[in-house]
Structure 1
Amino acid sequence: MIRADTLQPAFGVYVHWPFCLSKCPYCDFNSHVRHQPIDEERFARAFEREIETTAARTAGRTVTSIFLGGGTPSLMQPKTVGAILDSIGKHWNVAGDVEVSMEANPTSVDATRFQGYRAAGVNRVSLGVQALDDASLKSLGRLHSAREALDAVAVARKLFQRYSFDLIYARPDQTAAMWTDELRLAISEAAEHLSLYQLTIEEGTPFFGLHAAGKLKTPSEDMSRILYDVTQEVCAQAGLPSYEISNHARPGAQCRHNLVYWRGQEYAGVGPGAHGRLDIDGSRHAVATEKRPEAWLMRVEASGHGVTTDDILNSEERADEFLLMGLRLGEGIDPERYKALSGRSLDPDRIRILRDEGAIVVEENGRLRVTQEGFPVLDAVVADLAA
């Protein structure tokens, strides 16, 4: 059982590189396309400055994980990555076994650049493959082919001991048989970790407009559930069970940085649109930076940081966030930690009803977790428990 007082100390640093070669039609992340060259040296200096300012607020922390996300961080030159990682090492203590993950797209992968990232200190890569057939990749707006994706995975396998890649399922016209075959191919290429996300239609994206107009048809709710069940069964049989609702790994190969988020631990966010959760003077601060890259850059150059939001979470907000994030995990949550954060216990009647419905399980040691049957309706489970 993972109790609050026995969690390994963890402090993550998330670094957001906001630029992409193109904007995918399903993506609502803070990513931007620029048709003129990016002044990487200027941005690198701004990252270093914001790291310095953030570290001053969190003195004495030991960084256990670093995640370079985006956007497409693999568009950065290795020297830019090296400068950012060196700055983190300069301003914080860094654990000897720190996990340093970097997201990459197959279009920006080549052996020379990956070797440079490894030399800079990256020790884990996460590839945005998204699909393993060309027709689906085209419909998703991806700029690589299935062959290029598999070649990129091969490069990662050769150069990094740890790597992962993402796939999107519940795509238009996808059947259970098609997804089973694709998933088995993915598992044969994966070493230890896969991130498998159901396609969601996010407001403000091109897919949202197409879907609303009836020009993009996604699988029915029943078919989406079948595809989810296929995902769980095929991965579990192959030794990659889910440890989080959308993430699968061999034992001990979980992404340690993402566990920081889901376990409600502390992390700093650096870069345009980055978020953080910092514990300062006994309070949990929810921090966010300016989303627009050039506006963030000018803010940092003027004042040392791009922070636009710095809210102190009250006990109820902290507890709700802990519940929302923690129940995504296969390990579930310790209700005693919820009580310590909120000042109240979870309602035993609501727990009983959800348990009788098969949505949750209460372990003998008191730990509460969502079942595989409950995960497809996780939002409803969380809302019921938090009420």
Structure 2
Amino acid sequence: MTLTPAPFGPHFGFGLYVHWPYCARICPYCDFNVYAAKNRDSGPLVESIAADIHAHRPRMPQHGALDTVYFGGGTPALLRPDELGTILLAASETFGIKRGAEITLEANPNDVLRADLVGLQRAGVTRLSIGVQSLRDSALAFLGRDHDAASAADAVKRALKVFPSVSIDLIYARPGQSPANWEAELVDALALGAPHLSLYELTFEPRTPFGLAAQRGDIAPMGDDAQADLYELTQAVTTKAGMPAYEVSNHAASAQHQSRHNLIYWRGGDWIGVGPGAHGRLSVGGGRYASEAERRPEAYMANVQALHSGWGDAGRLEPLEIAREILAMGLRAAEGVDLRRVETVSGQPVPRDKIEVFVDKGWAEMVGAELRLTPSGRLLADAITAALSP
């Protein structure tokens, strides 16, 4: 008798996300769980994160070795190689880390320029994700960054000498940005030679300085139609350069350079979230659980000490919540989603008549049971997901 794999869980990938909440400077557009680094002693939080990883094993006895580890933030590149090694050792001792695993570290250009890159590599890091954000000095000043375009380019070149897999982040759809200016900047970014690009439209989250400025009328966000034009321009330029989108905002030179950690999210795999404010998805005993760690570092460390875990009890997701998440995350990726997974979890059919409309409009395609959005359809991913959700 052949058992059908569950429609979610670690067989779609198993990762560890480590949130380091401190930054040397907090950017005005950022709505992540971040705090000023100042002159903090990182040791206690590193030890708490390691203890939190160990505490997950009793809850997840059937999970095997990790496919990926992702250090995000905040600015995890503020950690020394030995501190990263302490966290990776805890992961290795607790679950094991597969040979050839992807281990990503987020860093800012100035971090890369002053870091011991070989030391980071020896600690276990295999991939750098560099927050370039722009290659124009005026835009970097507007975005509140502490580097200039020349240092950003130097950082990417320096990283590529040590790490074969490097990603760079850019923010576009900035107020007043013209298609010609964005195209020129994107061409400059492609010329740096990084095999992965994460290209994000600037958002104005309500509680950020940018969000508050927009509410006051001090900043005028770019209109939806202009943003859509820039998105379509982005797809054309990157595809021509051999860096097509494999997800709404992510581009890679080949499958080898796609973010394996992010693919776990989009495919409905499992990941442990440790560090202040980190989120996780854990599949245990046929159920799927959402974890969220305490946001404030002091509360997180206290929880780890008291409960031997940063998040306490994880909430069990309802079948409809799981199905909607599988659909929403799966449609973000170019590879699409097998609708049988959604229907198995929800117990409801995905409406084929609506899919036919999207196919006729050129927004989607069906390949067997898999629904995939076209490049123009990915521009409407949220609306299409809402229309098809059980």
| TM-score for both structures, normalised by structure 1 | 0.95
Give the CA deviation at 1:48: 1.1
Report which stretch shifted further, 172-181 or 56-65. 56-65
CA distance in structure 2 between the aligned counterparts of 1:13 and 1:161, rounded to whole angstroms: 21
Contact 1:290/1:308 (8 A) holds in 2: no
Other-structure match for 2:3: none
Task: Identify unmatched segments of 5+ residues in structure 1.
Answer: none
Give the CA deviation at 1:109: 2.1
Other-structure match for 2:209: 206
1:251 aligns with 2:254: yes
Counterpart of 1:77 (choices 73, 76, 80) is: 80
Other-structure match for 2:237: 234
CA distance in structure 1 between the aligned counterparts of 2:356 and 2:97, rounded to whole angstroms: 44
Which letter does structure 2 place at the counterpart of 1:300? V
CA distance in structure 2 between the aligned counterparts of 1:267 and 1:183, rounded to whole angstroms: 32
1:268 aligns with 2:268: no
Q: Deviations over 1:235-272 (max 9, x none)?
A: 00011100000000022111000000000111111110
Report which stretch shifted further, 149-158 or 303-312. 303-312
What secondary structure does 1:240 align onto?
coil
Other-structure match for 1:96: 99
Contact 1:165/1:190 (8 A) holds in 2: no
Q: Which runs of 4+ in 1 moved over 4 A?
A: none
Contact 2:168/2:194 (8 A) holds in 1: no
Counterpart of 1:277 (choices 252, 258, 281) is: 281
1:351 aligns with 2:362: no
Q: Deviations over 1:361-382 (max 9, x none)?
A: 212x231111222222221111
CA distance in structure 1 between the aligned counterparts of 2:194 and 2:210, rounded to whole angstroms: 32
CA distance in structure 2 between the aligned counterparts of 1:55 and 1:366, rounded to whole angstroms: 35
CA distance in structure 2 between the aligned counterparts of 1:150 and 1:128, rounded to whole angstroms: 11
CA distance in structure 2 between the aligned counterparts of 1:291 and 1:167, rounded to whole angstroms: 27
Which letter does structure 2 place at the counterpart of 1:175? S
Q: Deviations over 1:185-232 (max 9, x none)?
A: 111113311000011111111111111222112222221111101100
Which letter does structure 2 place at the counterpart of 1:254? Q
Q: Deviations over 1:72-98 (max 9, x none)?
A: 000111111010011111111221110
What secondary structure does 1:15 align onto?
strand
Contact 1:63/1:95 (8 A) holds in 2: yes
Other-structure match for 1:320: 324
Which letter does structure 1 place at the counterpart of 2:268? G
Other-structure match for 1:130: 133
1:189 aligns with 2:192: yes
Counterpart of 1:46 (choices 48, 52, 57) is: 48
Other-structure match for 2:147: 144
Contact 2:7/2:344 (8 A) holds in 1: no
Q: Deviations over 1:139-162 (max 9, x none)?
A: 001111111111111121111111
The RMSD of aligned alpha carbons is: 1.7
| TM-score for both structures, normalised by structure 2 | 0.94
Contact 1:245/1:328 (8 A) holds in 2: yes
What secondary structure does 2:376 align onto?
coil
Q: Deviations over 1:264-293 (max 9, x none)?
A: 111111110111111111110111100111
CA distance in structure 2 between the aligned counterparts of 1:88 and 1:370, rounded to whole angstroms: 36
Contact 2:23/2:75 (8 A) holds in 1: yes
Report which stretch shifted further, 312-321 or 296-305. 296-305
Contact 2:303/2:312 (8 A) holds in 1: no
Give the CA deviation at 1:8: 5.9
Give the CA deviation at 1:4: 5.7
What secondary structure does 2:99 align onto?
strand
Give the CA deviation at 1:112: 4.5
Other-structure match for 1:369: 372
CA distance in structure 2 between the aligned counterparts of 1:192 and 1:75, rounded to whole angstroms: 24
What secondary structure does 1:307 align onto?
coil
- Percent identical residues: 41
Q: Deviations over 1:157-185 (max 9, x none)?
A: 11111111100000111111111111011
Task: Identify unmatched segments of 5+ residues in structure 2.
Answer: 1-5
CA distance in structure 1 between the aligned counterparts of 2:301 and 2:323, rounded to whole angstroms: 34
Between Structure 1 and Structure 2, how many residues are aligned?
A: 383
Which letter does structure 2 place at the counterpart of 1:49? A
